[in-house]
Amino acid sequence: MNHQALTAILFLSVVALTLVITIRASRQTSGAADFYAGGRSFSGFQNGLAIGGDYMSAASFLGISGAIALAGYDGFLYSIGFLVAWLVALLLVAEMLRNSGKFTMADQLAYRMRQRPVRTAAATSTVTVSIFYLLAQMVGAGSLVVLLLGIDKENTLAVSAVIAGVGALMIVYVTVGGMKGTTWVQIVKAVLLMAGSALIVVLVLAKFHFNLSELLGTAAAESGKPGFLEPGLKYGIDATHKLDFLSLGIALVLGTAGLPHILVRFYTVPTSRDARKSVLWAIGLIGVFYLFTLVLGFGAAALLKTGVGSDVANSGGNLASPLLAEAVGGGAGSTGGAILLAVISAVAFATILAVVAGLTLTSSTSVAHDIYNAVIRKGQATEQEEIRVTRYAAAGLGVVAILLAIPARNLNIAFLVALAFAVAASANLPAIVYNMFWRRFNTRGATWSIYGGLISCVTLVFFSPVVSGKLNADGTSAALFPAGVDFHWFPLENPGLVSIPLGFFFGWLGTVTSKEPAAEERFTELEVRALTGAGAEQAVSH
């Protein structure tokens, strides 16, 4: 049996398994707390796994190891930034959010502010971040599945069908399984991902007698790039690139704790202590996983061809992990190679499905809970009405994502993940932190910081080299627009260095230019509730 048939069978097994999970979960879902927050009944360990499953996207699994395989040490920065970021979530956000919120990021702001403006702002930012992230995952899914199943890239119909299929699956997970279904899909994915990558890591290390130095030496020699093991290969070219690296580093570390699909995971456990435990488990899991990416990336550089024209380089590094699996399994054409390639491909597929489901659920929940119920119905909608709107919103957002992803399938949209982190750090984090720690903070401050951070981020990216003007070495466009179109004036690819301070600045400015005694008065209540859990939402008892 060739590896493509095997891969296809494993893909279908992943789909079947996740659908069974989803249907089982739907039978245990009745009210809003079940549908949006999994009944708040997951344990800290389960939620830790689910956070890992929600967070470690294809960008992590395939992207980081690929970046290390191609750019050496510079790819490692992503791993470090993505991990250290969890301390912000652990120390400043997770427990207090669990105690003060209910279903969405906006709940925590709406606790002491005027409902409609802050919910509208928070929902706008939630949907924007989620759509950017979703689009990146779906386009990635399309090109990945195409590569792994050996479908011709020019076959528009087949590629579109793959993207539509992924979109349809995520709509089913969310509308049928709600948070319980989505969480179990993420838990299964996290287990598969950890087990699959651990296996490859052991096989790679065995080839180098479990000697890291030997692995690094071979990787440096085989890559043929001087300075492969040192910082600077990708970002050290000139002062602009160095500033870009700094900007990226700051957005990574501050963005995680503002990602809406991560924030809502803290609502799925019974108490804030369980929220803390889940972040601790997530830090352990994600930390080990990013150590794996180091071995996978340098392993790929050592064992695969990564020069110009190689499969790894042509895929932008995305195929480094799957091809590495094939190589350590015995090489192309061998049975072991075919099996490992198929297994790792299926793991990558499960990874994408789990992440897109989390994103779709989060954004559709925000549309229904914040916009439909709180803003349009002024809080008068019943739970069943709200859940029904969530299902429609999930289907609607899913269709929008499919329709955007199909024409974008050949565009370079890798920047969208970095943009999502930048928006999360610039628009969401300032509002969340101010709200928890600054008594004076009020409605105008919250809306100004969210819209200010969001608009400055999107504007700066639009006028950056990733949208127009960036060229590959051979003169073709490396940007969203084709070569020849160039309207960029902002030099950095990552806006965080400017937009994050702007988000905090607007939050401050909006606050000090208005007075809202009610918000200040209610801060007392928020503070007590956030720190003690007094009056926090209870778990559903079945």
Partner 1 sequence: MPSDLSPHDVAARHDPVYDELHAAPEFAELKRRYRGFVFPATIAFLAWYLLYVVLSNWGGDFMSHKVVGNINVALVFGLLQFVTTFTIAWLYSRYSTSRLDPLARTLDERFVELAGKPSDGRSDH
Query: Under rule CB under 8 A, which residues in 355-384 are in contact with partner 1?
Result: 373-374, 378-383
Query: Smaller CB distance to partner 1: residue 216 or 353?
Result: 216
- 3-state DSSP assignment of residue 222: helix
The one-letter amino acid at 322: P
Residue whose token pair is 């790039």: 225
- 90-109 residues near partner 1, rule: CB under 8 A: 90-92, 102, 107
Query: Smaller CB distance to partner 1: residue 24 or 378?
Result: 378
Under 8 Å between Cβ of 298 and 215: yes
- DSSP classification of residue 256: G
- 397-416 residues near partner 1, rule: CB under 8 A: none
Verify binding: residue 476, partner 1, rule CB under 8 A: no
Query: Smaller CB distance to partner 1: residue 290 or 415?
Result: 290
- 13-32 residues near partner 1, rule: CB under 8 A: 30-32
Find residue 477's DSSP bridge partners.
471
Query: Smaller CB distance to partner 1: residue 153 or 378?
Result: 378
Site string for partner 1, 431-470 (x = CB under 8 A): ----------------------------------------
Residue 367, both tokens: 């549309």
Out of 42, 76, 208, 441, the residue judged to bind partner 1 by CB under 8 A: 76
How many CB atoms are closer than 10 A to CB 234? Answer: 17
DSSP assignments along 437-481, one per residue: H-TT--HHHHHHHHHHHHHHHHHHHHTSTTTTT-B-TTS-B-SSS
Q: Looking at 274-282, 401-409, 462-470, 491-499, which segment touches partner 1 (CB under 8 A)?
A: 274-282
Verify binding: residue 531, partner 1, rule CB under 8 A: yes
CB of 432 to partner 1, least distance (A): 14
CB of 45 to partner 1, least distance (A): 14
The one-letter amino acid at 247: S
CB of 342 to partner 1, least distance (A): 31
Verify binding: residue 520, partner 1, rule CB under 8 A: no
CB of 253 to partner 1, least distance (A): 6
Residue 535 has phi, psi (to 5 degrees) of 85, 5
Out of 24, 153, 273, 515, the residue judged to bind partner 1 by CB under 8 A: 273
Report the C-alpha gap between 71 and 56 in whole angstroms: 20
- 152-191 residues near partner 1, rule: CB under 8 A: none
Report the C-alpha gap between 141 and 212 in whole angstroms: 32
- 195-254 residues near partner 1, rule: CB under 8 A: 212-214, 216-217, 220, 227, 229-232, 235-236, 242, 245-246, 249-250, 253
CB of 211 to partner 1, least distance (A): 8
Opening angle at CA 356, ends 327 and 460, nearest 5: 100
Report the C-alpha gap between 218 and 302 in whole angstroms: 5
Under 8 Å between Cβ of 268 and 134: no
Contacts of 167 (CB under 8 A, 6+ apart): 138, 356, 398, 399, 401, 402, 405
Query: Smaller CB distance to partner 1: residue 76 or 448?
Result: 76
How many CB atoms are closer than 10 A to CB 171? Answer: 23
Out of 88, 285, 296, 406, the residue judged to bind partner 1 by CB under 8 A: 88
Query: Smaller CB distance to partner 1: residue 151 or 536?
Result: 536
State the number of binding residues for partner 1 (CB under 8 A). 85
- 304-323 residues near partner 1, rule: CB under 8 A: none
CB of 74 to partner 1, least distance (A): 8
Report the C-alpha gap between 178 and 143 in whole angstroms: 28
